[in-house]
Amino acid sequence: MIRKVFVLAVLSLCAALGSYSQTHAKESLRGLRGVFVYVHPVGKDLEAGGLSTTRVQSAVEKALRQAGIIVYGEPQPADGSANLIIETSIVKHPQGPILYGVEVALVQDVHLTRAKEAHPFPAKTWSANMLGLTTPNRTDLILEPVMSKVDEFIGDFKEVNRSPHD
């Protein structure tokens, strides 16, 4: 019974996140040349099951480069100090399954239009989230939804930054 309630709660959360729409989020990517990738360190529970921070970092950077997106070694102020942030979080269930959350978000410097002389500050302008379930010994499978959300970022990036030759 507890397991059914747990699964229903997860499915409800997934549906709620899936229906969330970001107005104009893609537009915040227009004119962006590249990003600095920051992967929040994964915890020991994820590492024990096969997912590592290094593995996520390498896979994300490789996908971005293959898509023609510049990957900076550090945030570049000339490009809005854009950071593509990858975060995974988990909740362990006492009976074994792990509920995980994945977020891929772009944080970049923005200006408030109402404050003409204000200094820029970092703000999340684009994000994609996913929830799922896995087992403690297969946390390596979390890389798939991470890459799915990175692919969404790449698609949105390319949509608003098409070259004249496309």
Q: How far apart are CA 57 and CA 154, in angstroms?
A: 15
Q: How far apart are CA 93 and CA 98, in angstroms?
A: 6
Over residues 67-98, the pLDDT tens digits come to 999 999 999 999 999 999 999 999 987 778 89
Q: Tell me the residue type at 97.
A: P
Q: CATH assignment of 2-160?
A: 3.40.50
Which pLDDT score is estimated for 164?
Answer: 59
pLDDT at 124 over 80: yes
pLDDT at 58 over 50: yes
**Strands of 70-72's sheet, edge to edge?**
70-72, 34-39, 83-92, 98-110, 121-134
Q: What is the pTM of this model?
A: 0.82
Higher pLDDT, 128 or 111: 128
Q: 20-24, 41-45, 110-114, 126-130 — which one is most confidently predicted on average?
A: 126-130
